[in-house]
Chains A and B, each alone.
Chain A
Amino acid sequence: DTAVSQTPKYLVTQMGNDKSIKCEQNLGHDTMYWYKQDSKKFLKIMFSYNNKELIINETVPNRFSPKSPDKAHLNLHINSLELGDSAVYFCASSQDAGPRNTIYFGEGSWLTVV
């Protein structure tokens, strides 16, 4: 079983559309994350949730809205997609929100905005 799974793996969409990426972890972890990897492979945290509560919200446009219906799921909804949103989005989880923890990453969702 995949520990952190995200869908879809590939997504091609037009500018202005709204799209969602879903993520689920079966590790029993309390904390989940969204990271963005740009075309130069630079990784940056976007959001972090601990037990369904938002604890980290980096400088991300309001068009990005995470939602955590329970601690095993963290979805990412993106409104009014722009060309610059093209990237790989990684969902991840860790035992808790402490900095010592190993972070487990999903396989990524490749978003291409045309």
Chain B
Amino acid sequence: AQSVTQLDSQVPVFEEAPVELRCNYSSSVSVYLFWYVQYPNQGLQLLLKYLSGSTLVKGINGFEAEFNKSQTSFHLRKPSVHISDTAEYFCAVSSPSGYSTLTFGKGTMLLVSP
């Protein structure tokens, strides 16, 4: 069984500051890792994903994440946030075999203020 822990339920930050949203996972097998963003009253949108290869993954809107196998982490970072980045961010894992069944973390609300 897999699980995802997002350590922070809410992260307040000022505009133009850097941010890191933490994600740790638990799995007995290798995994695929995803970050999705949910803007208010909208569906989820993929930010980035790690399948294999380079452990540093770049996504949309200036976000990037680094896969760290030894620490079983996949933290999301952005060097300078905008007001428009205010949203709920979900980390998710999937087993690389079988059908797609994303297991989501409980989400981190990123609150960007001026």
Binding site for B on A (CB under 8 A): 4, 31, 40-45, 48, 50, 55-56, 90, 92, 94, 97-108
Contact = CB atoms under 8 A, between A and B. Distances in A.
Interface string B72-114: 0000000000000000101000111111111010110000000
A4 B46 CA distance: 14
Interface residues of B, number: 24
Interface of B: 32, 36, 41-46, 49, 51, 88, 90, 94-102, 104, 106-107
A108 B42 contact: yes
Nearest to A106: B43
Contact of B106 (A42, A101, A108): A42
Contacts of A40: 106
A114 to B, nearest CB: 20
Given A41-B88, A105-B45, A106-B43, A98 B104 contact: no
A103 B49 CA distance: 11
Given A100-B32, A105-B45, A106-B43, A43 B98 contact: no
Contact of A90 (B44, B98, B100, B106): B44
A108 B43 contact: yes
B95 A99 contact: yes
